[in-house]
Structure 1
Amino acid sequence: MSPRLAKALINGFLIGGAVIALFPLLWMVSASFMQPGEASALPPPLWSAHATMRNYQELFLRAGMGRYLLNSLLVSTAITVLSLVFNLMAGYAFAKLRFAGRDRLFKVLLGMLIIPAQVAMLPLFLMLKYMGLVNSYGGVIVPAMATAFGTFLVRQYARGIPDELMEAARIDGASELRIFVRIVMPLLKPIMVTLAIFTFLTAWNDFMWPLIVLTGQEHYTLPLGLASLSREHAQDSELMMAGSVITVLPVLVLFLALQRYYLEGLLLGSVKG
């Protein structure tokens, strides 16, 4: 087989795979502009003959999708900011500070990575109930403020920072907080972007935990709002597609815009670790 033919076959397979992966998303967008019942026709049309914005108007004017969107933005942003603060400090401490039991504590932290999250949901729910955080934004935000994976990711990256930088700053009389803010944090920017994107996407798409801890619709995030909408409008495929577009589009645009920094942080972290 000639190199040109092999290259053409590989590119053909890649293009075919991309089309198969993107087709459901593109049809979802197309169906969101269709008239009621149009997407249920057999065979279903690829695009609407009479496109309309009615489905999106219905979502925001009557279905409360605007409130769900604001809830998701509030919860995901708060989780991302708090997660960066706690995971960066914990990861740096495990990587560069010496304290009693550091290595043993880190091994325990690593062990938490293999425990399914569902195992801890019941005790976590009871703890939040005693704290009065059930059916509140805090009930969703507090458990996600720090994660074993986030701490591990930062720790592996921070290990590549030369110890001489911190020692020189200590000799000059800089406090540990100043060293962390002025020296360490600028060097952690690639992994900060990676962790921020990963955390925001995870919080935005989370369905199980908000479903458990949130009982009132006024606190629902977009995934919960879309699920409740499906119970009320199970036969309205076009409206459901519009809701799916609103849920998927923001994080898809965010990831596509920042994917270079996301991958760069992951690759640098793996090399430095």
Structure 2
Amino acid sequence: MFLSSFKTNAEISQMTQSLLPKHWTFQNYMSLFVSGNFGVYLKNTLIITASSFFGLLLNAIAGYGFAKFHFFGKKVLFLAVMATMMIPGQVTMIPVYLILNELKLTNTLLGILLPGLVGAFSIFLFRQFMSSIPNSVIEAARMEGAGEWYIFWHIIVPMSRPVIAVQGILTFIGGWNSFLWPLIIANNQKYYTLSVGLQLLQGQHTSDYGIQMAGSSFMVIPIIIIFLIFQKYILQGFSVQSEK
């Protein structure tokens, strides 16, 4: 796919194929951003991905609250959060869409961002990991006069690096591959993401295989690079979770 993205459409359509392009060309990638409008899709995807990391922080705070704080209805509330994992996302899409429509947030980036900021699975992972952090460490910090925010940022977060690394990778992949919800909530192409733009290529450039290969490569290569760089942390984080 990646090598074919540097081939001309005529070369891709030939009956006999060679692995390497006979005539290297960057025209497919140029067309991707000129006629394919991928520059706008890339900007939207980066905004969504960056905002998802703010959601990662919210999930970490919620997980810390469930793990280390005692308050009325804690177990019931945590079970309610866990119960949401049993509900398929497709079931809640229409109610969420109607709510956002009442708030005038349809066809906006904010409407795309808000529903995915927090998730029960992420809260569960943070809660499970942070439950293993010794309470004596937190109590010692409180005795030294440290505030709750100081404890969270300077003690809990550094000790939670493995699970943060895992959730960070999953958050990036989820934001980068966001497709169905942006397609539903937005009816203007200026709010589409890369995944939606890639789907549009198949309809607008049905016979232009070169530009389709370029679009697919542009979607896949960053995720492969991220995984290759951080695979040690991903495997370490999942092994830690399995041990818990």
How many Å separate the matches in 1 of 2:9 and 2:17?
A: 13
How many Å separate the matches in 2 of 1:229 and 1:130?
A: 32
Q: How does 1:56-71 map to 2 (within 5 A)?
A: 56-71=29-44
Partner of residue 64, structure 2: 92
How many Å separate the matches in 1 of 2:99 and 2:66?
A: 27
Match of 1:226 among 198, 203, 208: 198
- Asked whether 1:256 is paired with 2:223, we answer no
Q: Which runs of 5+ in 2 are unaligned?
A: none
- Asked whether 1:75 is paired with 2:48, we answer yes
* Residue-by-residue CA offset, 1:63-82 (whole Å, 9 max, x unaligned): 21122112111111111x21
Q: How does 1:42-57 map to 2 (within 5 A)?
A: 42-57=15-30
- Asked whether 1:40 is paired with 2:3, we answer no
- When normalised by structure 2's length, the TM-score is 0.95
- AA aligned opposite 2:208: D
Partner of residue 149, structure 2: 177
How many Å separate the matches in 2 of 1:127 and 1:255?
A: 36
SS of aligned partner of 2:9 = coil
Partner of residue 73, structure 2: 101
How many Å separate the matches in 2 of 1:181 and 1:30?
A: 45
How many Å separate the matches in 2 of 1:83 and 1:196?
A: 10
How many Å separate the matches in 2 of 1:164 and 1:41?
A: 69
How many Å separate the matches in 2 of 1:49 and 1:176?
A: 62
How many Å separate the matches in 1 of 2:148 and 2:28?
A: 55
SS of aligned partner of 2:86 = coil
Partner of residue 3, structure 1: none
Partner of residue 267, structure 1: 239
Equivalent residues of 1:37, 1:236 under 8 A apart: no
* Residue-by-residue CA offset, 1:111-159 (whole Å, 9 max, x unaligned): 2112211111011111111122211111111111110011001011101
Higher CA-based Rg: 1
Q: Compute the displacement of 1:210 (Å).
A: 0.8
- AA aligned opposite 2:71: F
Q: Compute the displacement of 1:47 (Å).
A: 3.0
Equivalent residues of 1:37, 1:237 under 8 A apart: no
Task: Give identity over the alignment, percent.
Answer: 38
Q: Which runs of 5+ in 1 are unaligned?
A: 1-27
- Asked whether 1:209 is paired with 2:177, we answer no
How many Å separate the matches in 2 of 1:109 and 1:191?
A: 19
- Asked whether 1:110 is paired with 2:82, we answer yes
How many Å separate the matches in 1 of 2:34 and 2:99?
A: 37
How many Å separate the matches in 1 of 2:7 and 2:145?
A: 67
Equivalent residues of 1:34, 1:48 under 8 A apart: yes
How many Å separate the matches in 1 of 2:124 and 2:216?
A: 33
How many Å separate the matches in 1 of 2:140 and 2:22?
A: 69
- Asked whether 1:162 is paired with 2:134, we answer yes
How many Å separate the matches in 2 of 1:214 and 1:70?
A: 15
- AA aligned opposite 1:133: L
How many Å separate the matches in 1 of 2:110 and 2:232?
A: 32
- When normalised by structure 1's length, the TM-score is 0.85
Partner of residue 105, structure 2: 133
* Residue-by-residue CA offset, 1:95-121 (whole Å, 9 max, x unaligned): 111111111111122221122111110
How many Å separate the matches in 2 of 1:267 and 1:83?
A: 24
SS of aligned partner of 1:223 = helix
Q: Compute the displacement of 1:171 (Å).
A: 2.4
* Structure 2 CA distance for partners of 1:55 and 1:88, relative to 1, 3 Å: same
Q: Compute the displacement of 1:43 (Å).
A: 4.2
- Asked whether 1:145 is paired with 2:132, we answer no
* Residue-by-residue CA offset, 1:175-211 (whole Å, 9 max, x unaligned): 2222212221111122111111101101111211111
